[in-house]
Structure 1
Amino acid sequence: VSFADPVAVRHALGIISDLARMDPYSVAIALGIFSVFLVIFHPAY
């Protein structure tokens, strides 16, 4: 998902929201892991 594409971001957030209603713990873990990957693979490092 490119953050420059607002429609794609809105769609992705909608999917995450639907999943969070079904299993909030799993979504929290997945977002935490995703944020770690963003830090590790950030181009500035």
Structure 2
Amino acid sequence: MGDILIVLYPWIKSLHLISVISWMAGLFYLPRIFVYHVERSDGKDQ
């Protein structure tokens, strides 16, 4: 069991790092998406 964890550790660490970076990028981009939708919906009301 320990041998397989030693082999998989770099892969798990890499996937975790990619996941965290993607999550943070999504959190930073989410407000911009909300602003975009508000700007698009303002034009349709008039």
State the TM-score, normalizing by the size of structure 2: 0.45
Tell me which of the two structures has the higher relative contact order, counting C-alpha pairs closer than 8 angstroms and 6 or more residues apart. 1
Report the TM-score when normalising by structure 1.
0.46
Larger radius of gyration: 2
Structure with higher helix content: 2
